[in-house]
Structures are given as C-alpha cells and as structure tokens.
C-alpha cells in the first residue's frame, strides 16, 4: 500500500470509534427528531404521519406551549442581563493581584460545578414562606404579608431567577479572561489625565470588554433557554404552570404525556430558537471583525 493510502486508512481507523457514536447518537437522532416532529406517536401504537399539524397545534391551539414560551422569555429576559452585570462586576472586582485572589475566584466559581439538586433543598429553605431567612428578614423590616415565593404564581419565577443568579461563575471567568486583554497603560494614562476609578471603569473597561460581553450574552441566552433542573425540582413547573419553561414542557409532553411526536416538534422549535441566536451572533461577529 502506498504511503498515502496507509495514512488514509489509519485516519479512518482512528476516527471510527468516535464517528460511529457520532452518527448513531448525534447525527441520526437529529434527523429523526425532525422527522418525528411530523408524526404523532405514543410509543404503544404505530406512529402516524400528521405533517405540519403538530406545529400548527403548538402555535395556534396549545396554550401551554405559548405559556411555556413566554415563561421562558420572562426568565431569560431578566436572568441574563442581571447575571451579566453581576458577573462583570465580580470579574472587575477580582481582576487584581491581591493575595489569595485565586481562592476568591474559586469560591465565586464553585456553585457552577455543583449539581443543582444538591443545593435545591437549601433554596427551598431560603425561600420558605414561614421559616426562610428571606421572609423572616422582610417581616422584621415591616412587611406584613411577604410573598409565598415558590408556592405563589406571581413569585415563583422571580424566586427561581434570584436562585439561578448564584451560578454566575462561568460568565465571570469569561469576563476575567476578557479583562486580561485590556492593556494596563490605558488605565495609567487615564489616571494621569485625572480620571477617577469609576470613570475609568465606565470609559475604558466596559467598552473594551464589549466583545467578551457579546460572547457572554450569547452563551447566557443559550444556557437560559435550555434551563430545566430548577424548574423541575423546585416547582415542577408550577404553581399552575407559572414556571413551566420550554424544556420542562418538552419533558412533560414526551415523558409524562407520552406524546413523542409532538414533543419532538416542540424540541425542534427550541433548537431553531437557539440556532437563530447562534447564527445572529456569528453574523454580528463577522461584521465586527470587518470593522476592526
């Protein structure tokens, strides 16, 4: 065999294990998911082809889907911006060479590596309407009837938003990396010109961080759209569906109501949302690169 042929054979042999898995468990399922979206199937009876019926149902007659969509938008719309501000602030705060800074960074990052389940019970207690510290604090501050939090249709989502903000560590780390790309001389020049620290932050740091901010925003949006565990474990989508988000609804459809085809269609919609965000990011990034 020629050298070339040997190299090509070797390449395919090296690729084979991963490739087989990739085809079987990623590529094929994606295609199937799209096909499934056009069927109605409960796994007992044979699948029935229904064309675009599922999609029509999702958008026109399914209140629950529409509700889960808007719940997700609500969650994403609040959690992402607030999370970014917190993460950026923490990164700026920790971007200094004080003693033990890596310990502090580790502390801020630590929640990210925990399983949500592990701290779920703590959050249940924190937001407990009778005994939890939040309501106890509110009561001592004079609130007559503090919110019922996870048991209230109005306050369950805000509670979950507050809880998930605790996991800002990944964004913070990304901001820290971006901050390190800002040359120190800019700050020195600003100091010579008499700028205050606050002005330096606003006029130098924030603008120069914009590429990182952009990336963190996109990533945060995607993660937020895919959120599931808090919504299952803390409230099970309730009360009255007020915390039913997209992934939760897909889970319900597929594994509680056994509407596999319909759930697949919903999953395709979720994928399209995420795809749109990613594509938009890519396009904007291209434009940005063109300008710089």
Q: Scan residues 112-171 and list those touching another protein (CB under 8 A).
A: 113-126, 131, 133, 136, 166, 170
* Number of residues this chain uses to bind another protein (CB under 8 A): 82
**Considering the rule CB under 8 A, would residue 201 count as an interface residue with another protein?**
no
Which residue's entry shows tokens 């087989």? Answer: 20
- Shortest Cβ distance from residue 145 to another protein (Å)? 18
Which residue's entry shows tokens 């901010």? Answer: 213
**Considering the rule CB under 8 A, would residue 202 count as an interface residue with another protein?**
no
- State which residue, 127 or 155, has the beta carbon closest to another protein: 127
Site for another protein in 215-274 (CB under 8 A): 215, 219, 226, 228-229, 233, 247, 250-251, 254-255, 260, 263-264, 267-268, 270-271, 274
Site for another protein in 50-69 (CB under 8 A): none
- State which residue, 98 or 154, has the beta carbon closest to another protein: 98
What contacts 90, CB < 8 A, 6 or more positions away? Answer: 108, 168, 172, 175
**Considering the rule CB under 8 A, would residue 197 count as an interface residue with another protein?**
yes
Which residue's entry shows tokens 């090296």? Answer: 14
Q: How far apart are CA 281 and CA 221, in angstroms?
A: 11
The token pair at 250 is 């897909």
- Shortest Cβ distance from residue 27 to another protein (Å)? 7
Report in angstroms the alpha-carbon separations of 139 from 132, 133, 145: 11, 10, 8
**Considering the rule CB under 8 A, would residue 108 count as an interface residue with another protein?**
yes
Contact 80, 227 (CB under 8 A): no
- Shortest Cβ distance from residue 207 to another protein (Å)? 19
- Shortest Cβ distance from residue 233 to another protein (Å)? 6
What contacts 163, CB < 8 A, 6 or more positions away? Answer: 123, 126, 127, 230, 234
Q: How far apart are the first and last CA of the chain?
A: 50
- State which residue, 74 or 104, has the beta carbon closest to another protein: 104
């Amino acid at each position: 065999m020629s050298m070339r042929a040997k190299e090509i054979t070797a390449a395919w042999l090296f690729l084979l294990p991963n490739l087989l898995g990739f085809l079987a468990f990623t590529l094929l399922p994606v295609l199937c998911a799209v096909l499934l979206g056009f069927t109605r199937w409960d796994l007992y009876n044979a699948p029935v082809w229904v064309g675009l019926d599922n999609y029509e149902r999702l958008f026109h007659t399914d209140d629950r889907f529409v509700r889960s969509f808007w719940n997700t938008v609500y969650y994403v719309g609040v959690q992402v911006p607030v999370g970014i501000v917190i993460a950026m602030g923490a990164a700026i705060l920790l971007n200094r060479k004080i003693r033990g800074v890596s310990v502090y960074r580790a502390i801020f990052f630590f929640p990210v590596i925990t399983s949500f389940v592990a701290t779920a019970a703590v959050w249940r207690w924190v937001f407990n309407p009778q005994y939890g510290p939040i309501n106890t604090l509110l009561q001592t501050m004079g609130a007559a009837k503090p919110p019922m939090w996870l048991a209230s249709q109005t306050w369950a989502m805000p509670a979950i938003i507050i809880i998930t903000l605790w996991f800002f560590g990944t964004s913070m780390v990304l901001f820290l990396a971006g901050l390190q790309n800002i040359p120190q001389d800019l700050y020195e020049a600003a100091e010579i010109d008499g700028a205050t620290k606050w002005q330096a932050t606003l006029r130098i740091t924030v603008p120069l961080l914009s590429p990182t901010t952009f990336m963190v925003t996109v990533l945060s949006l995607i993660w937020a759209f895919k959120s599931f565990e808090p919504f299952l474990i803390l409230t099970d989508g309730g009360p009255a569906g007020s915390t039913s988000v997209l992934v939760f609804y897909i889970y319900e459809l597929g594994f509680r109501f056994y509407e596999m085809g319909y759930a697949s269609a919903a999953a395709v919609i979720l994928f399209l949302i995420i795809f749109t965000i990613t594509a938009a990011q890519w396009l904007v990034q291209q434009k940005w690169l063109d300008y710089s």
